[in-house]
Chain A
Amino acid sequence: MYKYDNYDQTIVDERVAQFRDQTERFLAGKLTEDEYRPLRLMNGLYVQRYAPMLRVAIPYGLLSSDQLRMLAHISRKYDKNYAHFSTRQNVQFNWPALETVPDILADLASVEMHAIQTSGNDIRNTTSDQFAGIAEDELEDPRPYCEIIRQWSTFHPEFSFLPRKFKIAVSGATDDRAAVKVHDIGLYLVKNDAGEVGFNVIVGGGLGRTPFIGPSIRPFLEKQHVLSYLEAILRVYNRFGRRDNMYRARIKILVNDLGKEEFTRQVEEEWSHIKDSVLKLDQKEIDRVKGFFTSPDYDKNAADDKSFDEAEKSNKAFSNWVKRNLFTHRVAGYKAVVVSLKAPGIAPGDATDEQMDHIAALADQYSYGEIVVTHDQNLVLPNVKRADLFSLWEKLAEKNLATANIGLLTDMICCPGLDFCALANAGSIPIAKQINERFDDIDYLHDIGDLKIKMSGCMNACGHHHVGHIGILGVRKKDEEFYQLTLGGSAEKDACLGDRLGPSIAKEEVANVISKLLDVYVEQRQDEERFLDTYRRVGITPFKDRVYPKTAVKEKAYANN
């Protein structure tokens, strides 16, 4: 993974000093609350419903075991012994005291971490595929480009006060595991007819109140132009993105208002001026950064192991976990292991200090000391030998980290919701709990198979509900929590937004309604169809009829007239 040199370390150290000074000036009354707010926000510090929340950047989700141990230490020393991993591959602490935040940042800097641009109207953490570097379907490792973008965007003098926040995702694989098309800028590594690798540039995707799947504005961009092209896009956005209404300020609105053609024309025009400037990347620099993302020294005999097959045959619980929590590795005899942070009764994405220490130790023992945060709020140990899988599973199970539910109904994406967030209209975590209590039969969950439930406590859509196979959106009616369901969304290469099922439902009904939807699926599915496939084939009507029988009759009668 990327290692800081003196330059990188100096920047994070100086940031700690700067934020310490800003916080001291605030505490001494030299900065007003209004003046301090944007400064703390540029450092990931929010003031939430009950306490401040500090968001720490995990560039493209990649952590070393030492970094994970530091997160455990911070949660112990400054917080309530746990941390929350977010859909942007970051980590959040929910209870730090404001005056201790400079110390937390200093601790983070000691392990090459920071909270720079984890909030504010600036370029946020660049996210990527959790299986980058090890996936079989990968054209090229996207992480060197993420790191190049991280450095370019850090304290960018021109783009630190944009109309709104700005998120970039990069994927190098055939399957999109990074929700690229719902980012402000999404980059897919692709090959052109001449066999060169470059980027397909997607702009203007996003969720929130006005969701869009982003269009491609340049199907092939040579690698050395990636920064100049990003700069051209950002410059058009900084000049012309709306600033009069924060809900209309994201780049997706600009792209949609101008139209893809006109937006592209403006970007290309701007780009023509700066394309061959100092922004043009040297191949030497690309190679230098690539040099940090090398493969470990894999065991050539790893595939010879026989113990794994035997354990799988003889142990049902292990075999369930094998079915769901392993991902194919490009090297024979290795697997990527998904550590589930979705055990029943736990807020999705939360890990305790003990669990983090435990995972760090297991990463050292079994996976070359690296851990990856996934955008669906789990952790990955990317390089585990077949022969080690059984003992790893046993050890994960000791700390409640071996729930065999990856990609299943209970592997929900969930925002912090009303329990923590000042913006939320409704709870998310209690709904996750309700769903977990209702669907606690592992055989049933495995029978239902792949199902992405995504849940947000308000229309800002931090839980990506629009692109869930089943999306759940918390709303508030007469001071009570209700939930609006959508069906058929996807955040992958076939990205699309879910369709609204019908009127919102009462809080206590959510699990019941999901159960009805699953009944329809089980009745209708053919062969190996996933829930999403069946939905796409049969449409929304049978699901609607089951959940809202009377309304459905009325609507039909109306349609017949």
Chain B
Amino acid sequence: MQIIKDKKVCDDDWVIVRELDDAAPIPEGNVILPFSYWQANREELLKQDSAHAAWIDGDIETKELSGELEHFSIIGLDFPAFKDGRSYTHARMLRDRYGFEGELRAIGNVLRDQMFFMFRCGIDCFEVSEGKDAEEALKSFNDFSVRYQAAADDAVPIYKLR
């Protein structure tokens, strides 16, 4: 499938596993697992040599992941609807507070007009919703050339440059 990573459109073979019973066998291939499944099968999974990836939604606290970050190359953040903005805080906590340096991938209802905000919170990878033009969506990163606040992208607020 197509994703946007580091502001470029590219192909990607990671598969997001939306639902998985904790007792189910570990799926094959590059999978982004529900964090609850990863936790339940932690010991088994850590024996594997491959890269780990898990996703969380707004109901989970990033604190729960904070001790495990070294294991993950990708953390998926769910945006189930335009209105559910909890994962923006997730992204900032993972980057600013817990220092996660791997990939933060926005999954779910990822809309072009929100990617600017997501990027600023530290999300560097975006699932492209079906039927949407990824190349077209890249333009949204350039919506604003000036940003008032410091965030994951700008180290200082604009006033320090004035």
Contacts and interface: CB of A to CB of B under 8 A. Distances in A.
Are A and B bound to each other? yes
Given A7-B158, A278-B157, A282-B160, A155 B85 contact: no
A446 interface: no
Contact of B155 (A39, A163, A278): A278
Interface of A: 5, 7, 10-11, 14-15, 18, 22, 35, 38-39, 121, 151-152, 154-163, 235, 238-239, 243, 273, 278-279, 282, 285, 288
Interface in B129-154: 143-151
Range, interface on chain B = 35 or more
Contact of A11 (B58, B88, B120, B144): B144
Contacts of B97: 273
A240 to B, nearest CB: 9
Interface stretch (B10-18, B23-31, B32-40, B110-118): B110-118
A155 B89 contact: no
Give the one of A18, A22, A121 with max B CB within 10 A.
A18
A158 B146 contact: no
A263 to B, nearest CB: 16
B84 A161 contact: yes
A169 B159 CA distance: 22
Contacts of A121: 83, 85
A122 to B, nearest CB: 9
A121 B84 CA distance: 10
A195 B10 CA distance: 59
Interface string B52-88: 0000001001000000000000000000001111101
Contacts of A15: 144
A102 B102 CA distance: 39
Q: Is the interface of B mostly helix, strand, loop or mixed?
A: loop
B159 A11 contact: no
A157 B97 CA distance: 16
29 contacts: A5-B162, A7-B161, A7-B162, A10-B146, A14-B143, A14-B144, A14-B146, A35-B82, A39-B113, A151-B148, A152-B148, A152-B149, A152-B157, A155-B144, A157-B118, A157-B120, A157-B151, A158-B88, A158-B92, A158-B117, A158-B121, A160-B117, A161-B117, A163-B85, A238-B86, A238-B89, A243-B84, A285-B160, A288-B159
Given A151-B159, A278-B157, A38 B82 contact: yes
B156 interface: yes
Contacts of A5: 162
Contacts of A22: 113
B159 A161 contact: no
Nearest to A10: B146
Nearest to A154: B148
A227 B114 CA distance: 23
A47 B158 CA distance: 35
Contacts of A243: 58, 83-84, 86
B158 A157 contact: no
The 6 closest A-B pairs by CB, nearest first: A161-B85, A157-B120, A157-B117, A151-B148, A278-B150, A158-B88
B85 to A, nearest CB: 3
A362 to B, nearest CB: 34
Interface string B40-60: 000000000000000000100
B86 to A, nearest CB: 6
A157 B88 contact: yes
A35 B111 contact: yes
A161 B114 contact: yes
B149 A160 contact: no
A278 B143 CA distance: 24
A14 B158 CA distance: 16
B87 to A, nearest CB: 9
A282 B159 CA distance: 9
B116 to A, nearest CB: 8
A268 to B, nearest CB: 16
B149 A157 contact: yes
A161 to B, nearest CB: 3
